[in-house]
A and B are shown apart, each in its own frame.
Chain A
């Protein structure tokens, strides 16, 4: 058998341009001459221009990546980077050729922007393209949102940056970490295919359920107590014989206020403000409207440099609902693990 794996990753030096190697650890400051373009300035006086593009949600073709590689060869010595928000960023672009590069990238259908006080690239999981668990379609929603908010991506006219992440089921690692997150929600009762239960590890499935809704049945199978199910998806993920999802009931929730940085009030996960909206491909009007509604209220009311969560913390969640006009329902009240923490004990109402 041939040796396979065990290699690790390439050394740092292999894929970064000479100007980065020379100025490694010496970068001093940066300017943003126009949206999407960052000029990094080193202590040594060297500069490095980068140009940032929006990327299609979740999938890109080899053909397009090769075209982007050609652009990199022509304009940035062949170097680029994929940012932590999956933007494509040309590294060390020849300064005189920036406008030409932007022209070519935009002609290819790649808007330039996503820096500073703008909408940053939208992150989305594969969902209906290639997953068995989604309750909605992240790439479709991302595309619809991107089209509707394109001017926010290309301009610096929001109070602070706006990050939107989309995950099509409760499994998503991203949606609660963005200023606005969209999370797929299932609402149907999972079904057990009894003949197939032998292939599952029954104890694992039973203890994976947070509400103890799964009970052993017979020698191999299980039943699910309908009233106890909170649609977390743990069972369907660990066992092929349990299925969830119903086209008439599936949809998504909207969360607000996730933030990783330690500035302001520090890192926190977002909170779910809209428990359910229906799936409506291909243009997902309800999702677009909800995001615009939240973004507009924030834009109108926030101080300069105030992230979504800092704004909410300043005005309070009660005023957040008042100012956005989002309807409150019993589903906004957490009855799960942190329920008592999230209830109100102070009398500092924002009437």
Chain B
């Protein structure tokens, strides 16, 4: 009989199998097999590993089963802009993973890093890092630091992109590399980017900081192309019906989008090639999206509804990002996620700390209580 009946079962069937994959590596398969048998993980506590000269990126993992393996560390490789790879480049990463690790990879983590797994010593992790550095890659994205700043493929291959997320990723990673590699905050800062409100990057839901491409004018309609599309069987009536704001009027010749109704949701743009995002483009920034932490799962909240994107120094964006990090640095408690900090402080006070301009774009509705504090200076000297 096989030593690994559970993994054997998980090696069968049409879906790609992690069990089969693990068996092609030097990963200690008994650890996984035993977990399934016992219905309990065989791994122990994890933490930051101390690689001299490097603040973060290396993660140490203890084992509860020293009879099988004593420990197994991993290191996170920051993903490329748009997560595009050349086979010749990826082969080098594979070679490094095989040389230092157990030959297994995590492609990609929830934060879109590549993990090189099964490293046994700090020396290994240092070796991996140096070899990656030599090929223009870097490690990071662990601990209470700015994590990897993942992007979507943006204009590299997507027709909907309103901002250049791959180039933003390249710029932001370089600009903040010290804060990515040397943890200095109370807790991690996960930043996510999407090139448009379709939000493939899940920046609002997932990011302590979310950066999302937006446009302020209306979707652009090419009526001639639209007539042709409709003539070839395109169902414009269905698209008009599904517009969440009921903003589209089509009279068989011309489509008019009502500027008082449209919410720039992207739906018509996704469905009709003759409709494109508007030209007045920038990014919105949200803060505080997360799953875990004291107050549970939260959606991100818009704090900068529109920021202009100005390469090469992206001045306004950097100023906003710095401000968000500074307030978190100053007011966040140890192991308190940004969303929890904002909940504790109060969103109104938090916005004051950020120093943002108040506008109706900052809320989905105004408050429904009158429980606010009036400062002496707001009372016009009456007290």
Interface residues of A (CB under 8 A from B): 1-12, 14-16, 20, 24-25, 27-30, 40, 48, 50, 53-66, 69-70, 72-73, 78-84, 86, 91, 109-111, 122-123, 125-134, 137, 139-140, 142-147, 150, 153, 167, 170-177, 201, 203-204, 207-208, 210, 232-234, 237-238, 240, 245, 247, 250, 258, 260-269, 279, 281-283, 304-305, 336-338
Which of A1, A15, A145 counts the most B-chain CB atoms under 10 A from its CB? A15
- Bound: A146/B266 CA distance, A: 30
The answer on a CB contact under 8 Å between B299 and A269 is: yes
The answer on a CB contact under 8 Å between B156 and A82 is: no
Q: Mark B32-70, 1 if CB is under 8 A from A, else 0.
A: 100110111111111100011111010001101000000
Q: Distance (Å) between the CB of A18 and the closest chain B CB?
A: 12
The answer on a CB contact under 8 Å between A60 and B104 is: yes
Contacts of A338 in B (CB 8 A): 296
- Give B45's nearest chain A residue, CB to CB: A240
**Could you say which interface size class chain B belongs to?**
35 or more
Contact of B79 among A64, A82, A167, A175 (CB under 8 A): A82
B233 near A: Cβ within 8 Å?
no
Contact of A140 among B36, B155, B198 (CB under 8 A): B36
The answer on a CB contact under 8 Å between B85 and A81 is: yes
Contacts of A30 in B (CB 8 A): 159
The answer on a CB contact under 8 Å between B177 and A5 is: yes
Contacts of A15 in B (CB 8 A): 80-82, 84-86, 89
Give the contact stretch, choosing among B201-209, B317-325, B349-357. B201-209
- Bound: A53/B86 CA distance, A: 17
The answer on a CB contact under 8 Å between B84 and A66 is: no
The 9 closest A-B pairs by CB, nearest first: A146-B15, A147-B13, A128-B35, A56-B16, A69-B87, A61-B24, A25-B155, A8-B174, A262-B197
- Bound: A27/B264 CA distance, A: 20
**What are 11 A-B contacts with C-beta separation under 8 Å?**
A1-B52, A4-B130, A6-B133, A7-B137, A15-B80, A59-B105, A60-B18, A128-B35, A143-B18, A208-B336, A262-B197
B173 near A: Cβ within 8 Å?
yes
B161 near A: Cβ within 8 Å?
yes
Q: A127-B41, A143-B10 are in contact. List 8 more A-B contacts (CB 8 A).
A: A4-B51, A56-B18, A57-B18, A60-B18, A208-B336, A261-B199, A262-B198, A282-B7
The answer on a CB contact under 8 Å between A247 and B38 is: yes
Given A79-B84, A147-B14, A269-B299: A10 in contact with B137 (beta carbons within 8 A): yes
Contacts of B191 in A (CB 8 A): none
- Bound: A50/B84 CA distance, A: 12
Secondary structure class of chain A's binding surface, majority of residues: loop
Q: Distance (Å) between the CB of B121 and the closest chain A CB?
A: 15
- Give B35's nearest chain A residue, CB to CB: A128
B306 near A: Cβ within 8 Å?
no
The answer on a CB contact under 8 Å between A91 and B200 is: no
- Bound: A145/B18 CA distance, A: 13
- Bound: A210/B184 CA distance, A: 24
Contacts of A269 in B (CB 8 A): 205, 297-299
The answer on a CB contact under 8 Å between B41 and A59 is: no
B146 near A: Cβ within 8 Å?
no
The answer on a CB contact under 8 Å between A176 and B295 is: no
Q: Distance (Å) between the CB of A81 and the closest chain B CB?
A: 5
Q: Distance (Å) between the CB of A33 and the closest chain B CB?
A: 16
- Bound: A292/B359 CA distance, A: 45
The answer on a CB contact under 8 Å between A84 and B200 is: yes
- Give A79's nearest chain B residue, CB to CB: B86
Contacts of B190 in A (CB 8 A): 173
Contacts of B294 in A (CB 8 A): 208, 210, 234
Contacts of B150 in A (CB 8 A): 84
Contacts of B153 in A (CB 8 A): 81
Contact of A109 among B16, B199, B296 (CB under 8 A): B16
The answer on a CB contact under 8 Å between B10 and A130 is: no
Which of B57, B150, B290, B294 counts the most A-chain CB atoms under 10 A from its CB? B294
B139 near A: Cβ within 8 Å?
yes
Contacts of A57 in B (CB 8 A): 16, 18
Q: Distance (Å) between the CB of A237 and the closest chain B CB?
A: 8
B327 near A: Cβ within 8 Å?
no
Give the contact stretch, choosing among B163-171, B253-261, B372-380. B163-171
Contacts of B98 in A (CB 8 A): 62
Contact of B82 among A16, A147, A171 (CB under 8 A): A16
Q: Distance (Å) between the CB of B149 and the closest chain A CB?
A: 9
Q: Distance (Å) between the CB of A258 and the closest chain B CB?
A: 7
The answer on a CB contact under 8 Å between B16 and A173 is: no
The answer on a CB contact under 8 Å between B291 and A172 is: yes
The answer on a CB contact under 8 Å between B335 and A208 is: yes
The answer on a CB contact under 8 Å between B16 and A54 is: yes
- Bound: A267/B194 CA distance, A: 13
The answer on a CB contact under 8 Å between A279 and B103 is: no
Q: Distance (Å) between the CB of B182 and the closest chain A CB?
A: 9
Contact of B167 among A12, A132, A261 (CB under 8 A): A12
The answer on a CB contact under 8 Å between B10 and A140 is: yes
- Give A236's nearest chain B residue, CB to CB: B45
The answer on a CB contact under 8 Å between B140 and A61 is: no
Contacts of A125 in B (CB 8 A): 110
The answer on a CB contact under 8 Å between B20 and A109 is: yes
The answer on a CB contact under 8 Å between A28 and B156 is: no
Which of A61, A64, A258, A268 counts the most B-chain CB atoms under 10 A from its CB? A61
The answer on a CB contact under 8 Å between A279 and B39 is: yes
- Bound: A195/B204 CA distance, A: 42
- Give A170's nearest chain B residue, CB to CB: B292
Contacts of B104 in A (CB 8 A): 59-62
B97 near A: Cβ within 8 Å?
yes
The answer on a CB contact under 8 Å between B198 and A261 is: yes
- Give A249's nearest chain B residue, CB to CB: B39
Contact of B19 among A50, A110, A143 (CB under 8 A): A143
- Bound: A16/B190 CA distance, A: 26
Contacts of A78 in B (CB 8 A): 86-88
B227 near A: Cβ within 8 Å?
no
Given A28-B273, A79-B87, A84-B152: A63 in contact with B103 (beta carbons within 8 A): yes
- Bound: A58/B98 CA distance, A: 17
Contacts of B44 in A (CB 8 A): 132
Contacts of A80 in B (CB 8 A): 84-85, 87, 90
B331 near A: Cβ within 8 Å?
no
